[in-house]
Structure 1
Amino acid sequence: MTTTTAADATTTATDVLIVGAGPTGLTLACTLARAGASVRIIDKSREFHRASRGKGLNQRSRELFDDLGVGAEAAASGTEHITLRKYRDGVAIADTVTFADRTPTPDTPYASGLLIPQWRTEEILRHKLAEYGVAPERGCELAGFTQDTDGVVATLTDGRRIEAAYLVGCDGGHSPVRKALGVGFEGATHAEESMVIGDVRVDGLDPAYWHQWFDEDAALMLCPFRGSTHWQLQGTPERGADGRPAAPTLESFQRLADRCTRDGGIRLSDPTWFSAYRINVRMADRFRVGRVFLAGDAAHVHSIAGGLGMNTGIQDAFNLGWKLAYVVLGHAAPGLLDTYEEERLPVAAWTLDLTDERLRAVVEGVKEAGVGTEAVITDDVTTLGVGYGWSALAWGGEKAGGRAPDALCRNGRLFDVFAGPHFTLLGFGRGSEAALAEAGEKCAGLLRTHLVTEQDDPDGHARRAYGVEGDGLVLVRPDNHIALSAGADRGAEVVDRLLRLGR
């Protein structure tokens, strides 16, 4: 909801202003809007792009999309367990299926990530956001902002002003928000590691495979998408007489394809997007300055190895979103917001290290044995193991801070119980009923309670997933991480923690 004042009809107000309507900004907006916070999301682009860009949701992001209510729509537009077909000297030498040895389990519903073009991911999130009456405001460029202890005032290039309690920069690696804050963005640019990328039609290839040619002096990858006539091309750039990468063109893409396939009859056409990039490995030294936050590429950029860029931004947004909502709606004190940087900055640092290591593995594998991008397929890139055991919100128990696992119960999945902007208190055994009743009454509006009995969990999936023996309590955060595991007699502690949240 926005408001205007008689004194200045060009000034409007909102709880949270998001700058940047990519996957990070849209995820954040959805998380805030469904919680009941007012939100505006602006983007300087006048049209929604149709580029494939970041083309995959990993297993953890798929779980979060389920929580937001868009998981099924994403799955219907994407591909699981894509087969990587590798070539050497123009000849197919091996097929590798991503996460072929994994199957869904009761606590982990997704054995594979999802190959889906970024434009479609953004479209799905925009449709969900529209259900809350919010739409990205296109052609709205941030000119600057000021902040004080009461809020932020942002000025757009057309002179309009937006007053907000908080502002979040989700505006990419060149983030004007980050630059205006004066936040350092330390790291390195690897000029020698440059790539070209684009979306083209491809004739002469089977779309059942992600085709990858890796030779000593050139590389080409052509990735198909479900329901799309266009493939994503990635490869090594042509270089000019000065040795510098030349701008990508359809003709240069075709020459690269002819070179790698030994003129194998593949024809490229109808390009809709071209780009060239050098690998940057950089991270902001702070993710927050006062009432202004950074998320996604505005806070960290790294190698594409593992496909973690978009996923890390989505997971930043899911972490920050519930916390901002709780503060602006009065459910928690502002101190809760300190845990965003506390939790996500170390994860970003880990991601930079991981993607650097995985890129080296690909490069060395290509040189030595013709290995392709399967070198990045490890448990780490699922981010299912990412947790916050060091956090001020890890309140006790061996699994505190970790991802809350799913489980199949008689009446459905635990993830269905968790879905939404609330904490969830799981009570194991009849001895937990009193604690559930007390917490449910005293923390109404913040908490959903769920009793897990032998009848509800006949195969013991939930007990095993949470390591609970006998009667016990497990408190799950709105972002589906464990806050507390405790005995059934500690219900009063749960109530106290929730009522003092952020204090």
Structure 2
Amino acid sequence: MNTDVLVVGAGPTGLALGIDLARRGVDALVVEKADRLFPGSRGKGLQPRTMEVFDDLGVLDAIHAVGGTYPVGMIWQDGERVGEHRMFDPVEVTDDSPYNAPWMVPQWRTQEVLFNRLKELGGRVAFKREVVGLGQDADGVTVRFATGPDIRARYLVAADGGRSVVRRALGIGMTGETVDPNPMLVADVRIEGLDRDNWHVFPPRGEGAGYLAICPLAGTEDFQVVAQFPEGTRVDLSPDAIREVVAARSHLAPESVTEVRWASDFRPRAALADAFRSGRVFLAGDAAHVHSPAGGQGLNTSVQDAYNLGWKLGAVLRSGAPATLLDTYEEERRPVAAHMLGISTGVHRGEVRRGDATRQLGLGYRDSSLTEETRTAPPGLRAGDRAPDGKLAGVRLFDAFRGPHWTLVAVGVEAPDVPEPVRVVAGDEQPSYGKGLFLVRPDGYVGWAGEDTAQLAGYLGRGITR
């Protein structure tokens, strides 16, 4: 074997997985067909649940330093401001949910932060390594590249995007639909004569025309331009064409666009892979699910795929957990991806408001085979739910959870002896938890809940908490 885990794709999914594996001492290599990290802003919104993940992965301070809050939308008509538009429902910060709103960071900068963290942990990314084929057997996966030697790994994770070469090589199909037949332009540009205090929206001018939105990208001097075109249009990505679109749909002159730094086009669609695993190969991120960007769910769901899979690979490869633990990746993540696809499509079509559902704090795994709720109809927090933040006996719970370990939260009951890798936090009262014992997984979800220590010992005996 050349490595334990080969991760194909150095986007947010692959880099987040690389970080999680590196901090667990798993030998992993991330490969990327391009000669550098993705240069565009495409996925610019980080949801509160992803911010919690980044807190655990050790990159939250860096993410806060390079991003910012979303500006209020401003509607324009005939060169005049005609009204504000709130993109998100306001939410207050609470003890159990410290990150209450989306945080804007251009995708290229998110990747830069993750890449630096991966290198800090001793992780590796090999650029200019394009996958052209693979084969697997009972012991591992052999991957072939356009140039350079083959690589053999115990497991392979495909994080190589919606056109995943790995998924196609496996013969796994994707089932989905076109969310909107109208093609879209997205570009990162420099603009003069437009303030950075608002997300500027220019509604269509006349029948058959498309809208224009210009959003200042937090932490940069750039704006992201998004423009919709009639069905069947071939989108011209040249700088002059982008300048013409901006001028035709706003009060700005073509020369106001002083620089075009990156541009792409796409057709909004929603699709879900028919399977998230084939033998020793796993699909994650856009390789497994493709979203409309309207709901800001694609990158976030993808990072959380990596977060779910990372601790399971680490437990199997480094801690002697049963290999059947890896079966729960598809069991848990595919239903979540399907649910979030419905939400992102609903937001695109104006059927769903950006709010509680898009923040992703309510997602969980109550029906997972890893979840054991031993109480009868308990109020409030249950096994399978996200473990909230808060204080217990003066300890911040997210501080206790941070790292690649399990945590036992004991509220109002005596904490039993547990194996050494499991940390214990105990106290008399915690309103977000209620009374009981709560065994929190490395990815911040309650795996077991109850008060019977014998039943807890049975769960620990499954060997997945090592």
- TM > 0.5 fold call: yes
Structure 1 counterpart of 2:315 = 326
Q: Which residue of 2 aligns with 1:77?
A: 66
266 and 209 in structure 1: CA distance in 2 versus 1, 3 angstrom threshold: farther
Indicate whether 1:485 and 2:449 are aligned: yes
Counterpart CA distance in 1 for 2:66 and 2:361 is 22
* Match 2:403 to one of 420, 423, 440: 420
Change (3 A) 1:298 1:182: same
- Cα distance in 1, alignment partners of residues 81 and 297 from structure 2: 28
Instruction: Find the aligned partners of 2:141 and 2:307 in 1 and give their Cα distance.
Output: 22
1:385 aligns with 2:362: yes
Question: For 1:349 and 1:340, how far apart are their aligned partners in 2?
Answer: 14
Secondary structure at 2:262 match in 1: strand
Amino acid paired to 2:414: S
SS at match of 1:155: strand
Matched residue, 2:427: 452
Equivalent residue for 1:60, pick from 42, 49, 57: 49
On the 8 A contact 2:272/2:290 being kept in 1, the answer is: yes
Residue 141 in structure 1 maps to residue 118 in structure 2: no
Matches of 1:265 and 1:410, distance apart in 2? 61
Any idea what SS the aligned residue of 1:326 has? helix
Letter in 2 for 1:137: A
Q: 1:78 and 1:97 mapped to 2: Cα distance?
A: 19
Q: Which amino acid aligns with 2:403?
A: G
Instruction: Name the amino acid aligned to 1:59.
Output: P
What is the identity percentage for the equivalent residue pairs of Structure 1 and Structure 2? 39
User: Contact 1:220–1:260 at 8 Å: present in 2 too?
Assistant: yes
**Could you list the runs of 5+ residues in structure 1 that have no partner in the other structure?**
1-11, 363-374, 454-459
* Structure 2 length-normalised TM: 0.93
Residues 263 and 26 of structure 1: CA distance in aligned 2, closer, same or farther (over 3 Å): closer
The counterpart of 2:414, out of the listed 420, 426, 432, is 432
Provide the rounded CA distance (Å) in 1 between the counterparts of 2:252 and 2:61: 40
Deviates more, 1:387-396 or 1:260-269: 260-269
Amino acid at match of 1:103: E
1:245 maps onto 2:222 in alignment: no
Aligned residues: 456
- Which letter does structure 1 place at the counterpart of 2:423? R
2:188 paired residue number: 199
Asked if 1:395 corresponds to 2:387, the answer is: no
Q: Residues of 2 paired with 1:73 and 1:272: CA distance?
A: 23
The one of 102, 112, 117 equivalent to 1:123 is 112
Structure 2 CA distance for aligned equivalents of residues 99 and 110 of structure 1: 14
Q: Distance in 2 between matches of 1:244 and 1:210?
A: 26
Q: Is the 8 A contact 1:171 1:297 kept in 2?
A: yes
Q: Per the alignment, do residues 408 and 264 of structure 1 end up closer, same or farther by CA in structure 2, a change over 3 Å counting? A: farther
| Cα-to-partner distance string for 1:411-462 (whole Å, 9 max, x where unaligned) | 3421110011111001113x413x1xx21xxx222x1111123xxxxxx5xx
4+ runs of 1 displaced by more than 6 Å? none
- CA 1:208–1:331 in 2, change beyond 3 Å: closer, same or farther? farther
Structure 2 gaps, min length 5: none
Query: 2:432 — aligned with what?
Result: 465
Amino acid at match of 1:432: E
Are the structure 2 counterparts of residues 266 and 389 from structure 1 closer, same or farther at C-alpha, using a change threshold of 3 Å? farther
Question: 2:446 is matched by which residue type in structure 1?
Answer: I
Distance 1:423 1:219 in 2: 48
8 Å CA contact 1:205, 1:266 repeated in 2: no
Q: Which residue of 1 aligns with 2:217?
A: 225
Decide which of 159, 162, 178 is 2:167's aligned counterpart.
178
Structure 1 residue 331: deviation in Å? 3.5
Deviates more, 1:174-183 or 1:352-361: 352-361
2:268 is paired with a residue of what secondary structure?
A: strand
1:135 CA displacement: 2.4
> How far apart, CA to CA, are the structure 2 residues paired with 1:127 and 1:238?
41
Contact 1:187/1:283 (8 A) holds in 2:
yes
User: What aligned pairs does 1:261-300 form with structure 2 within 5 A after superposition?
Assistant: 261-263=250-252, 267-300=256-289
The aligned runs of 1:87-98 (5 Å cut-off) are 87-98=76-87
Residue 22 in structure 1 maps to residue 22 in structure 2 = no
Cα contact 1:107–1:406 (8 A) shared by 2: yes
Residue 372 of structure 2 aligns to a residue in which SS? coil
Say if 1:412 and 1:113 are closer, same or farther in 2 by CA, change over 3 A: farther
The correspondence for 2:198, drawn from 205, 209, 214, is: 209
Deviation of 1:194 (Å) = 1.1
- Please provide the CA RMSD for this pair: 2.0
Q: CA deviation at 1:99?
A: 4.3
Task: Look up the equivalent residue of 1:104 and give its one-letter code.
Answer: V
TM-score by length of 1: 0.86
Contact 2:71 2:199 in 1 (8 A): yes
